Every structure is written in structure tokens, then in C-alpha cells.
Structure 1
């Protein structure tokens, strides 16, 4: 219902703008409004790439050129309809987005910006010097504009058309970002490893962000070319890429209305300083630095900070034991089989020919002194690290060569030794991200806001609230995850892992940093999770917790397995005692508690 209301609001605003511009007859002011729409189209796609996915790009001028020159060549060299030329220009720009994404996503940080910058410079040189095709500085004349009733659009009609396109783009991208794909993109910006661990296909999500930015920028370029009926290399400069980036950063990256604010304010400033190009460039540089350092959230971010609402105070947990919710299937037998797994980093081997088997319905513990290779083993099981040799079979399938998101999809969830929450997202959104791989709505249904996508969103939210109730955090669902205490953040990460609907849950030191009371509560929680049909393998140093909840214990020392069995048997094993105490004499087994 909220999406329908928001769509109606956008339609009303667009209708109001169209009504207002119908009273304008001055082509100069209409042209400024038209360029606001053009730059908004550039910025709204760029916001997906920069504000949500966190990928810094300086190649938007090249994508603008792809749309502009595609429509120019299609309408001057063929008899294709200008309407179809506009559509094809968007497709061609999208393909260029894929082209720039493939090499760009192999690098990160400033290197990513440099690769996209190189793309923009190559396109700038190409359209400027390949005069036989692109016309160079002379450009391409006679571009056929779109028409209505066989009459070219007037300046006023161009504005109306651009306003409608902006409204449609806003609604579609809002549908995309306020749901499964928006959460996935935000998770990339926060932590790619954690994102892949909950089933997000990191590379695919980045490519989608590049394509969305390319399509909207290509449409903007095509509109300029068709409205002017002319395009040349002077339109395609590095300053255009900087300006598009500035639109997003100044307006507010990551905000749905940031691109709109940036487009309106900066286009008006650009028009006011049109007579002084040097002043324009100086102001762009100043505003870019100002946005990065003094106002990192942009104008909309600053306004949100001023008028920020505190999360609603939810009812406090009653302390009652949450109801048991089924997560894993009712089954028995082998769940995970590890045979001869070795991991070598040069001469260092944190895992050496390790073999063990995990049974369904059991809580297993993987223990050992510091440096024994426990976290390395967890990372190999979940696809974060590839083993050098050996076999890992989960549910009868070999997973040693599979990426993390595929292993998660198969039914293996995990938490991390060092917290990897998406701190800026709410507790609820963190847990809903865990359900990402279980949602059935694809890109198109999410983009269009189809009923199927809305249903999946409702199901995911209900499931997330159910799991938060299980871990006792439903009263904090609206709070930013990073604002909670360390112990509560541990529970959020656990709920997020459970949201992946795992058959096997891997916990890397879940009690690290917890006080004795929190550790005891965690033990009870793990037992409840086991009753939900989830098998558990935990790496843990708290021997009290291990011995109280584990059915089976595996012990590593210097990368090799030295013992396994029931907790009591392992506790009395001489090799285990020697590994923990560093002595050959066999002391009382209870001393392990004091040294672990």
C-alpha cells in the first residue's frame, strides 16, 4: 500500500511540474528545467552505483556519449523510428555498462576509479578523433528528434517528456532499492565477505549497479542529442563525469531524493555561471571537496541529521522463552564430510590432512589452542578460502571449489570471529539480508514492483521478525545494528545467519567478548536453535560452554586433528591436555577450564 501511495505522490508532483511549465513560454527557462531532468537521470542511476553499491566511477561521460552517439548514428544512418532509436540507445549504453564493469570489478578503491576514468578518456578521444564515424568537433547534424502526431516536440513538450521519464525512473529505481536488491547493494558497500556469506552474488550485484547507472545516463545523453538534433565531442568531457559525480555527492549519496536536490541546485548554479567557465570549474571542485569533507551525507544527509527521528520505543522483551520455530528439515545421517583437507600458505600449513564428519541434529565443537587452524577450517568450509587439497562434501555434494554464496544457498550459514554486521542498516534489515538467497523475486519483478516481489518482501520481513523473537531482539528491530551493545550485536549476527535457513550453522567464537551471564544465555540459545532442526559446528575457547552444549568435539593443534569424540572423552585425552597445558604430565582434566 505504501508503494502505491508513493507512486501516486510522484505522479502528482510530476503533473504539478508539467502544469507549471505549461505556463512558461521562455525557452531559456524551459531549457534549464529540461537539463535538470537530464542531469537527474544521470544522477539517479549514478546514485545506485555510488550511493548504494559503493563503487566510485569517473566514467559516466563515456556512458552519456554511448547513448548520445547511438541515437545520433541510428537516426542519421538508418530509417529507424526515433522512438526506437531512444530505446536502442538505452540498450547500447547498458551493454557499455557491462563492458566497463567486467574489468573494473577486478580492482577496488582508487584503482576502480582509475579504470572507469580510463574508459571515459578513451571514449572522449574516440568521439573527438574518429571523425569519419563520430564527426569530431564538427559533430553529427540532422539527428531526427522524437515526434508526436508526426510533428517534432516543442521545447515545452520536451520538458514534459523529460519530467515523465524522471518520474518513471524514480519509481522504478525506488522499487528496486527498497527491497531485496537495495539491501544487497548496501551490504556490498559495508562488507563484501559478509555479503557473500548470506548468499549475495557480489559480482552480479555490482554489474547490475553499473548497468542501471549506464542505462539512465545513456537515456540522458540520447535526450540531449535528439532535443538539440546535434551532438559533438564538446559535450563529452571529463568535467561532465565530475559534474555527474558531484550531483550525487552534493545532493546526498544513498538517499532517494539526493539526486533530485543535486540536479536542481547544481543545474541552476551551472546556468547562472554559464558566462564564466573558469568560475564553474572552480566551484565544482570546491563543492566536491565540501561534499566529501564537510557534508559527507550531502544536503539530504544534513537535513536528515537535523530532523532525525529516534527509533520508536518497542515493547521490551518479556523474558519468556520464545516459541520453537522450524528452520532445518527433520533428518538424520551425515551432513558434512571432510577428508584430507590441507591449506598451505607457502611453507605455513594452518590445516594438514584434516578429516572429520558432522552428523545431523548434533552440536559439534571445534576447539584447540590459538593458531591451531580453527578459523581457517571454518573459512574453507564456507567458501571464503579455497583448500589446497582434500575433499569437502556437504549434503553429498563437493563444495571445495564453490563460492561462498553458492554454499550459503545450499544450506550452510555462518557467523564471524570478528563481527561483520552491516552496522548502518537496521537490525531488521540485517536479518532480512540473511534471507536474500531464499527470496524468489528477480530483478525485473523487483524493478516493476510486481505483486510477487511485494509478497516475497512481506514473507521475508515476517520470517526476520520471527527469528529476532527467537534470539530475543524483536524489540530492537528498528535500531541501527551498530548502535547495539557488543553482546546484542552477536545475537543479531546469529539471527542473520539463521535467516539463511541453514541446515548447518558454523559459529566462529560466538562467545568472544561476552560476560559469563551472556555466555550462559548463549548456551541456552544454541540448544533452542538445535531443537529447530539446525546442526551446529562452533569454534570456541570457552570450555564451560563447549562441554555443556556439545554432543561431539573435534580438537586441532597446529593444523592437525589430535582428537575427537564426546566432550568427556576429549576432556580426558592426554594429547588434548598436553596441547592446552604444554606439559607431558597428565594433570586433572578440569584444569583445562582455567587455561582455555
Structure 2
């Protein structure tokens, strides 16, 4: 089992890159020549550009190639300010970052609205348009000849020497990476990983897919603007040829080589690519080919980049050093009251083309009760859950939770209204621990702003402490606390299903939708799950259970709704459902005469007695799709 560690002995991991950054800051005074210092400066600028791409690509899963255009925005903003008489480097950097942020927001909105590849194409064409845009405003920008007349930078009115300007560059770069590191180890990055895993999962946890994508893309624009402002002050000349497609390719290659889902991978990839491009400067016609080769080789042979390889090796080392986690029994005494809400589904209909998946379905699920949905495969059970969650829009009918209408709401707003659900296949982000996976369930309901996160303000610290406390509590409930530092995707199927339930119940939802949650669980895990559902019911929660394990349904359900061909064929108590002849006919595929009801009951009970352990009756076992 892999173990996540953020320390090397008693030393936090962030101390090592910080110490290295301080050493780099003093290179001019350590006898390093001008050409080497120049290459380090260019590598620092490239690392800022790559870090912005890492935020959108590595953490949010959105390929954006517009960093070169935002780099140009920061550079020309600083250059024009300098020509206008504002030579203070701090003001130029702030202005460059702000303009890049604005470019990111303006260009990100249409691309993110259209979809994943649309953002890549939108940002790609933005880079190609940079020279034409500069040519249109040639009187101010110098057009294709470049922007000249930039004055040497000052700091608080004092001129900056080359050495002092280099120090400013390294300080700005270090500060940005501190900011990025604070974001990456926070709940915001956890939400970004959820988004990268699945927009559907993100919405089901109350996370707005569009806003989260725009957040990552816009934040990624800021370091590009900072780099552009410092580039203008370094060379005192800005040429449109600098912000070319070749630069965009270099940024992408550096991200892939260093590791896109990493803070410090941006630095590693940037320094490596800067060395490669500098070494190939004598063969300029082959530079793009060399960059492309690094991009392909990194993508094929270095999944996760160099930092991903290092992380894997470190986890193996940490796992060998640490003792095996010891299972602990679940703790059930600390279950807070759950504010369950009445779920009402009235006359819901839904058709996909000529296929009528749901036809006038009506039922209610009350607080303090478990309502089970059963029926043969294809009867519309999962479609109904998707309708409740807002993933499908109803053709007719209404859905309410308490006094609030759910139909017509977007999925993330349905989740925020109090609907939590599991999936038939456990949906868990890669590279997250068990603890982080559960904490993701609290993201939408307990907010801390990005600014509070970066500055580690009191509210962020309070929310973070509450996240950990509540996550450990629900991990105790499902018996997985001893695995809190384990990689979640490495768990067996049964434990991943329990982990999904823990993620759902952490924020005490108004209604809990469980979609075949017992599938794949062994006998002990099924009993643990059943006890957890009983606890939620006892605490006042509203539970809707879709399940083929009829023994589990009978032991838990207060009411059962049986579906067939998109319609409700029976709605009643477990005893009433067991004696319903239509349920016997539709669910088991066995014709039962109205006068042979007792024989039908015996047939039903025998079918479930003979079903595989923890499974469904033979008549429905192994058939997928709801």
C-alpha cells in the first residue's frame, strides 16, 4: 500500500526547494559567469510559464496553450508603462500579472463553455493572433519591429543594477511558487483533481465545473504575466517573434517532462528545456523538432514526468519504511443528527429518442427511512437517480427536496441543495489519499477563498481543521481510518465503495442516493455498509437505495418502489412487495397466477436464497445497465 509523505525525516519537503531557490538567488555573487546567469534568468521565466500550464493541465485536466499570449500581454504592458514613465518594477509586475489575468478570463470563458478541446484550440489560435494584434496597434506596440525605448527598471525610485534585477526575478519566482504550493496542497487543488477525474463527479459533489475550470485557467495566466513584465525589464526590448508557436510547444514539453501535476516539476522541466534549446541554438532549424521529440518521449516514457517518477520511487521507499497499517474496528457512537429532507418525485417522464426510459414515475422518500428502488436491468433506476441529480432534464413532472424544486437546477446546484450520491463504478480521483478523497465531499458546503488559502488566513485554517476532523470521523464509521494516508485508487473495490459512501455522508446531506453500493463487497463489508445505512437512518437521514442484493434490501428498506419498463409497478413495504405477483413476473421473469400467491412468495424467497453470496437473483445477475 502506498503512503503519502510530505517530510524527509523531521524536515518538510518544501524546505529543500526553498533552500535551492535561495542559493540560486546569490549566483551572481558566487562567481557564476554572465552567460550562465542569463540562462538561469530565462529558465526562471520559463518555469513561471510552465507553472501556469500545470495548474490548468496537470490539476484541472484542461489543455491550454495560451501562456505565450499572456506572456506577451505582461511584457507589452510593462514596456508601455516604462515608456510612459512608470519604471517601478513592482508596479510593472503587478500590472503585467493583472493584464494576463484579464486575458485569461476573457479567452477562457468561451473556450471552457464549448468544451475541453475547444479551450486548446481557442488558446492555440490566440498565440497565432498575437503578431497580428500587435501589428494593428503598431503605433503603440511597434508592430512587427518590436517595442523599443523601454527604460531600465527602478525599485522604489532607486535604479536597479543587473545583479539586483536578477535578485528581484528570483524573489518573484520564489514567491509565486510559494503561492502555487499553498494552492496545490489545499482543498482547492483537491477539488481540481476531482474535476480532472470526472466533471460528473465534480458536479455531484457540488463543485461548479465551469467555475473551477475558469479558476485554474485564470490563475495559470498570472505567472505568465509576471514573467512577461520581468522579461521586458531584463531585455529592454520586446519582439513579437518571442511569443511564437515554438514557445508554446516548449512550455508544453517542459510541463510534460517535468511533470504537469507537480509544483516543482515546472522548475525541473523549464531548466531542462532551457538547456536543450540553448544547446541547439547553433542548429536553429532543428530546435522545434528537438522540442517535439522531448514532448513525445516525455509523454510516452515518463508518465507523470520526472517528478512523477521521483514520487513513485519515494512512495515505495516510504512504504518499506513504514509499518503496515493495522485495521481498526468501526466506531459508531458519534453520529450527529442528520437533517434529512423529504424527497418527492411526481410524474417524472424521460425519453431518449424513441426510447421512453421513465413514464410518469412517482414516489416519495422520507427522513428517517430507507426507500429502495428495485427492478430488472433497464427498468430506469439509474436514469431516475440521474434525473434527481440534475444530469438529465425531465420531459414532464417535478422533483422537490423539502420545499425546494430540484428539476431545472444544474447538477452542482442540486448537490448543494443537499443531494449526495454514489456511482455504480467507484469514481475516485488519482493521486489522492483516502483522507483527501473524503474531504472532497465538504468542498462546496464549507468555503475558504483562494486569497484566504494563499495567505493561510484564520478562516482557511478553521475550515481545514474541520475538514480533517470530520473526515476522520466518517472514516471511523466505515472502518477505514487506518488507511487515511493510503492512495485511494489502490484500495480494493469493496473499500473504494465504502470510501465513496464516506465521501457522501461527510456533509450530512438532505438525501443520500446509493446506486448498487453493495456490489463487490464481501460479507463483512456488506454488514458494515448496512450498519452505516442504519446509522444514517437513525440519525434522521433520507436514504434512497438502488440495489440488486435483495437480502440487503429486505433487511434495510422501510419502503420499496419496484420499477419495470420505466413505470412504477409496485410501491409498498417489503412484505407487500414480496407478495406482489407483478414483481415476481417482471423481476424474476416467472409467471405467477393470481391464485398462486403463496407459491410465488416461496419461489421469490428460494430465488434469493440460491443467489450467489452478496449478489442478485440468478434471473437478474450479471446484466448491466439501468
Q: Could you say which TM-score interval applies, normalised by the shorter chain?
A: over 0.9
Q: 1:107 Cα deviation (Å)?
A: 4.1
Q: CA RMSD in A?
A: 2.4
Q: Distance in 1 between matches of 2:486 and 2:301?
A: 26
- Out of 325, 336, 340, the position equivalent to 2:335 is 325
2:96 is aligned to 89
The 5-angstrom pairing of residues 367-446 of structure 1 reads 367-446=374-453
Closer/same/farther in 2, CA of residues 268 and 315 from structure 1, 3 Å limit = closer
Q: Distance in 2 between matches of 1:94 and 1:41?
A: 14
2:279 is aligned to 272
Determine whether 1:591 maps to 2:603: yes
Q: Distance in 1 between matches of 2:428 and 2:68?
A: 35
Q: Distance in 2 between matches of 1:590 and 1:180?
A: 53
Q: Distance in 2 between matches of 1:391 and 1:359?
A: 17
Q: 1:563 Cα deviation (Å)?
A: 1.6
The 5-angstrom pairing of residues 525-564 of structure 1 reads 525-564=532-571
Q: Give the SS at the match of 1:337.
A: strand
Determine whether 1:354 maps to 2:364: no
Q: Distance in 1 between matches of 2:487 and 2:268?
A: 26
1:279-316, Cα deviation, whole Å (9 max, x unpaired): 32222111111110011221222223333334444542
2:233 is aligned to 226
- Out of 480, 489, 501, the position equivalent to 1:494 is 501
1:15 is aligned to 22
Q: 1:458 Cα deviation (Å)?
A: 1.8
- Out of 154, 157, 160, the position equivalent to 1:147 is 154
1:336-379, Cα deviation, whole Å (9 max, x unpaired): 11111111212222111111221111011011111111101101
- Out of 192, 198, 207, the position equivalent to 2:205 is 198
Closer/same/farther in 2, CA of residues 290 and 128 from structure 1, 3 Å limit = farther
Q: Distance in 1 between matches of 2:300 and 2:224?
A: 26
Determine whether 1:106 maps to 2:106: no
1:217 is aligned to 224
Checking the alignment, whether the CA contact within 8 Å between 2:26 and 2:167 is kept in structure 1 is no
Determine whether 1:29 maps to 2:24: no
Q: Distance in 1 between matches of 2:25 and 2:450?
A: 31
2:142 is aligned to 135
Q: 1:495 Cα deviation (Å)?
A: 0.7
1:208-239, Cα deviation, whole Å (9 max, x unpaired): 11111111111111111122221121111000
Q: Give the SS at the match of 1:386.
A: coil
Determine whether 1:284 maps to 2:294: no
Scaled by the length of structure 2, what TM-score is found? Answer: 0.89
Checking the alignment, whether the CA contact within 8 Å between 1:577 and 1:592 is kept in structure 2 is yes
Q: 1:483 Cα deviation (Å)?
A: 1.3
Q: Which runs of 5+ in 2 are unaligned?
A: 1-5, 608-618, 621-626
Checking the alignment, whether the CA contact within 8 Å between 1:198 and 1:500 is kept in structure 2 is no
Q: Give the SS at the match of 1:419.
A: coil
Q: Distance in 2 between matches of 1:464 and 1:270?
A: 47
1:457-504, Cα deviation, whole Å (9 max, x unpaired): 121012111101100111112221221111111111111111232121
1:136-159, Cα deviation, whole Å (9 max, x unpaired): 221111123430363432221121
Q: 1:89 Cα deviation (Å)?
A: 1.9
1:125 is aligned to 132
1:451 is aligned to 458
Q: Give the SS at the match of 1:316.
A: coil
Q: Give the SS at the match of 1:141.
A: coil
1:262-287, Cα deviation, whole Å (9 max, x unpaired): 12222223223323212322221111
2:64 is aligned to 57
Q: Give the SS at the match of 2:361.
A: strand
Q: Give the SS at the match of 1:390.
A: strand
Determine whether 1:249 maps to 2:274: no
Q: Distance in 2 between matches of 1:218 and 1:379?
A: 42
Q: Give the SS at the match of 1:276.
A: helix
Checking the alignment, whether the CA contact within 8 Å between 2:87 and 2:154 is kept in structure 1 is no
Closer/same/farther in 2, CA of residues 521 and 150 from structure 1, 3 Å limit = closer
Q: Distance in 2 between matches of 1:121 and 1:320?
A: 58
The 5-angstrom pairing of residues 75-86 of structure 1 reads 75-77=82-84, 83-86=90-93
After superposing the two structures, state which structure 1 stretch, 403-412 or 196-205, moved more.
403-412
Closer/same/farther in 2, CA of residues 423 and 226 from structure 1, 3 Å limit = closer
Q: Distance in 1 between matches of 2:14 and 2:427?
A: 35
Q: Which runs of 5+ in 1 are unaligned?
A: none
Q: Distance in 1 between matches of 2:328 and 2:306?
A: 41
Q: Distance in 2 between matches of 1:79 and 1:259?
A: 31
Q: Distance in 2 between matches of 1:193 and 1:327?
A: 29
Checking the alignment, whether the CA contact within 8 Å between 1:52 and 1:189 is kept in structure 2 is yes
Q: Distance in 2 between matches of 1:21 and 1:272?
A: 22
Q: 1:245 Cα deviation (Å)?
A: 1.2
Closer/same/farther in 2, CA of residues 115 and 52 from structure 1, 3 Å limit = same
After superposing the two structures, state which structure 1 stretch, 100-109 or 338-347, moved more.
100-109
1:496-542, Cα deviation, whole Å (9 max, x unpaired): 11123212110011122334554344323321232233221011111
Closer/same/farther in 2, CA of residues 139 and 20 from structure 1, 3 Å limit = closer
Determine whether 1:168 maps to 2:175: yes
1:411-462, Cα deviation, whole Å (9 max, x unpaired): 2211011221224321111101111123231111012222321221121012
Q: Give the SS at the match of 2:570.
A: strand
Q: 1:7 Cα deviation (Å)?
A: 6.8
Checking the alignment, whether the CA contact within 8 Å between 1:314 and 1:476 is kept in structure 2 is no
